[in-house]
Structure 1
Amino acid sequence: MAWAMLIIAGFAEIGGVISLKLTEGFTKWKPTVACLIFASISFYLLSSAVQTLPVGTAYAVWTGIGSAGSVLVGMLFFKESRDRKRILFITGIVISIVGLKFIA
């Protein structure tokens, strides 16, 4: 159950980061509220997951999901660079997350 909470926390982190971009410096209230909600969900689930999982592993997985997911969403919806090197390194993050799941 801790791993499920951690994965959901990572996806909530993606929602928070994308909402943060859409706030335009916290000048738009709907994305600002969404950002606060996603961030709250993310931190709550992360804090629940670290009660069972090692904190270093949980934090690495959480930030990895948030980082990789945010980059992918940026590529898909915000026309950010799709350079092969960028994709290669994001793939490395995803492989590392999967590896941590198997050893933790």
Structure 2
Amino acid sequence: MAWVSLVIAGLFEMFGVLMINKLHKDRNWQSVILLILGFGASFLFLSHAMLTLPMGTAYAVWTGIGASGGAILGMMLYGESKDWKRVMFIIMILGAAIGLKLFS
């Protein structure tokens, strides 16, 4: 269950990153509230996962999901570079997160 909470935390982290971009484009209260809710939920699920998982593992996986997910969403939604080297490093980040799951 801790791993499920950790993945959910990572997904909310991705949502929070999207809301940062939305806030830069649309300076309104809805964007601020969604940003706070996204990161708040992310921290809530991360803290739940850390009741069972070691801090280093949980934090590495959480940041890996958030960083790689944010980069992928940037490529899909905002036309950011899809250079093969960038994609390769995103795959490496995700591979490291999966490796931590397999060997923890």
How would you bin the TM-score normalised by the shorter chain?
over 0.9
Q: Percent identity?
A: 42
Aligned to 2:62: 62
Aligned to 1:96: 96
Aligned structure 1 segments of 4 or more residues deviating by more than 3 angstroms: none
Q: How many Å separate the matches in 1 of 2:42 and 2:69?
A: 14
The more displaced of 78-87 and 20-29 is: 20-29
CA-to-aligned-CA distance 1:68-103 (integer Å, 9 cap, x gap): 000000000001111110000000001001100011
Aligned to 1:79: 79
Q: How many Å separate the matches in 2 of 1:70 and 1:80?
A: 11
TM-score, normalised relative to structure 1: 0.96
Aligned to 1:6: 6
Aligned residues: 104
The more displaced of 25-34 and 73-82 is: 25-34
TM-score, normalised relative to structure 2: 0.96
Aligned to 1:29: 29
Q: Counterpart amino acid of 1:96?
A: A
CA RMSD of aligned residues (A): 1.2
